[in-house]
Structure 1
Amino acid sequence: MSLFPTGADWRRAAKDLVEGLAAWHIWTLLAFNDIRQRYKRSRFGQFWITLSTGIFIAGIGSVYSFLFGQPVETYIPYLAVNIVIWGMLAGIVTDSTAAFTQAGSILGQQALPKTIFVMRVIVRQLIILAHNLVIIALVFLLFGIVPTAAAVMAVPGLLLLAVASLPAGMTIGLLCTRFRDLPQIIQSLLQVAFFLTPVMWHVDQLGGRVPYVIDFNPFAIFLLLVADPLHGHWPGIGRYVQALAIIGTMVLVTAPLFARFRARIVYWL
């Protein structure tokens, strides 16, 4: 049996993508329901998302501002923005590992487009991001920080991140459905990526050394595209070129993989 997708495979994959994206009411409903179920009997409900993230930022920010010799009034706002954006990046990767296995009961009963369940992950993380944006607003208010005009550039950065999440989520979800040890490996790699990404440290602290830590780190590139504008910096055109190159590469990898093995997902569940 050929490992390369046939013409019929490509047509079915394209149909899955088009129908899945068009079924926005399904993946939106599923995403909101996931959040509601997660905090169903909680007193604070969905705002536990905001509370837990805020406590983490306050605790880590107080300690690391002294470790890095940074003023608390500048470091905590910097950390708040980065942690919130990193939370979305890591959340998409982590949730994508179970994108199809979590939907096993649904896929076993209905022939729904597989794209729906990747979009479910992306929307779920966007909802969590919306909750956590409250933290950024409160921290900025507390420390008297006024966003600059550059903040509007966080929107195209976030759009690029969402676009990149679709092929990334498809590939991760498909591979993790086939290879059940892979989610643990990805989780371990995410922990390494956290320390290699400028979440708690500044890019300037590298002093021009080992630039590949940033330039060849997809997490760093998308983090900076969204976070830098909120810090008052205009992203360079090079960052957008890097992001588009990453998206293009992921599409080239994901498209044949999804076309060839999309139909097998149900059998791997």
Structure 2
Amino acid sequence: MPTSPPPVHAGRSWARAFQDIREGLAARELWGHLGWQDIKQRYRRSVIGPLWITLSMAVTSAGLGLLYSQLFGSPIGTFLPYVTVGFIVWAFILGCLTEGSDAFISNEGLIKHLPAPLTVYALRTVWRLTLMLVHNLLVYLAVLIIFFGYLSQPYKLQETANAIVQPGLSWTALLAVPAFVLIAANGAWVTLLFGIISTRYRDIPQVIAALTQLVFFMTPIMWSTDILNQRFGEGDHSWAILIAELNPVYHFIQILRAPLLGLQQSWHHWVVVGGVTLVGWALALVAMRNYRARISYWV
């Protein structure tokens, strides 16, 4: 006689996973308040408060931008804004990877005593990082005002014959809005997925912290792809450009950096980011379906 399928565990269902995400998005007052509190608590009793975020980014970008512009022989007026925006976007991505992996561990007390969707803690992390990015955008605005004359017309990041001519700032700067929304959506699934894995395996945050240092130097943040073309050319050494193209972080940074600096728009960056978004959310949903109910025990 036919046998009935095995029962599905009460905590393992797609309906509960999607319900958690819906309820988490709906609880915007909760994760919004928690994110604000994180910023306030971090700079409590500080004289200038959250402006330390802006000051730190300004000093780092100015120092490294001036240094590497001289090392690579790049014009300061265009290379310094390039490095600055790269650092701003990288800081957000880095936060999603490192702080996201600790999202559930650091919220152990709330998870055990507050009946809230797990998505709330992921959104709390992304919202906190968004607030920090807004503070860092003050550095971008200052750089934009200072170097607007260089960025408002066609320019090169490298003064070489084979360097790409960038079109300069235009209405395409509006693409920065959907670009950030897409990056933030990826930050949410990164926080959910890595947060769940890290809660079960506590070595993962250390692994992520170590790997991000390598990713930083392999990503065109303090250097541009024009340098690879200058060094290797486009002939038999065209494989060198794969150093950047096979790095998904490069595409995430470029979809936001390009409109903010008037760089040449390349839609393949959007295609790569869109593909990563779909795959990442699929993995995050699988993790939410299978392990969401176990988080409170693992923490």
* TM-score bracket for the superposition, by shorter chain length: over 0.9
CA shift at 1:5, angstroms?
7.7
Task: Tell me the distance in 2 between the aligned counterparts of 1:239 and 1:108.
Answer: 41
State the one-letter code of the partner of 2:252.
F
Which residue number corresponds to residue 181 of structure 2?
159
Which residue number corresponds to residue 3 of structure 2?
none
Task: Tell me the distance in 2 between the aligned counterparts of 1:5 and 1:61.
Answer: 54
TM-score, normalised with respect to structure 2: 0.85
1:80 partnered with 2:110: no
CA shift at 1:91, angstroms?
1.2
Task: Tell me the distance in 2 between the aligned counterparts of 1:106 and 1:16.
Answer: 16
Work out whether residues 96 and 126 of structure 2, in 8 Å CA contact, stay in contact via their aligned partners in 1. yes
Which of the numbers 3, 11, 17 marks the counterpart of 2:21?
17
Give 5+ residue unaligned stretches, structure 1: none
Which residue number corresponds to residue 129 of structure 1?
133
Work out whether residues 53 and 136 of structure 2, in 8 Å CA contact, stay in contact via their aligned partners in 1. yes
What do residues 145-184 of structure 1 show as CA deviations (whole Å, max 9, x unaligned)? 4442221111111111111112111111111111111111
Which residue number corresponds to residue 252 of structure 2?
222
Work out whether residues 11 and 290 of structure 2, in 8 Å CA contact, stay in contact via their aligned partners in 1. no
1:52-201 alignment runs, 5 A limit: 52-145=56-149, 146=152, 147-201=169-223
1:35 partnered with 2:64: no
Aligned to 1:209, what secondary structure does the other structure show?
helix
Task: Tell me the distance in 2 between the aligned counterparts of 1:159 and 1:102.
Answer: 25
CA shift at 1:204, angstroms?
1.9
Task: Tell me the distance in 2 between the aligned counterparts of 1:213 and 1:111.
Answer: 45
What do residues 55-102 of structure 1 show as CA deviations (whole Å, max 9, x unaligned)? 111111121111111122221111111111111111111110110011
CA shift at 1:143, angstroms?
2.3
* Residues 5/14 of structure 1: CA separation in 2 closer, same or farther (3 Å cut): farther
Work out whether residues 11 and 293 of structure 2, in 8 Å CA contact, stay in contact via their aligned partners in 1. no
State the one-letter code of the partner of 2:105.
T
Which residue number corresponds to residue 241 of structure 1?
271
Higher Rg: 2
CA shift at 1:238, angstroms?
1.7
Give 5+ residue unaligned stretches, structure 2: 1-5, 153-168, 230-237
1:47 partnered with 2:46: no
Identity over aligned pairs, percent: 34
Work out whether residues 12 and 291 of structure 2, in 8 Å CA contact, stay in contact via their aligned partners in 1. no
Task: Tell me the distance in 2 between the aligned counterparts of 1:124 and 1:110.
Answer: 20
Work out whether residues 87 and 221 of structure 2, in 8 Å CA contact, stay in contact via their aligned partners in 1. yes
Aligned residues: 267
State the one-letter code of the partner of 2:18.
A
Work out whether residues 12 and 259 of structure 1, in 8 Å CA contact, stay in contact via their aligned partners in 2. yes
Which residue number corresponds to residue 260 of structure 1?
290
Aligned to 1:101, what secondary structure does the other structure show?
coil
State the one-letter code of the partner of 1:200.
M
Task: Tell me the distance in 1 between the aligned counterparts of 2:292 and 2:94.
Answer: 24
Work out whether residues 151 and 229 of structure 1, in 8 Å CA contact, stay in contact via their aligned partners in 2. yes
Task: Tell me the distance in 2 between the aligned counterparts of 1:61 and 1:244.
Answer: 30
Work out whether residues 153 and 234 of structure 1, in 8 Å CA contact, stay in contact via their aligned partners in 2. no
CA shift at 1:8, angstroms?
4.8
Deviates more, 1:249-258 or 1:209-218: 209-218
CA shift at 1:234, angstroms?
4.6
TM-score, normalised with respect to structure 1: 0.94
State the one-letter code of the partner of 1:58.
A
Work out whether residues 12 and 293 of structure 2, in 8 Å CA contact, stay in contact via their aligned partners in 1. no
Task: Please state which structure has a larger fraction of its residues in helix.
Answer: 1
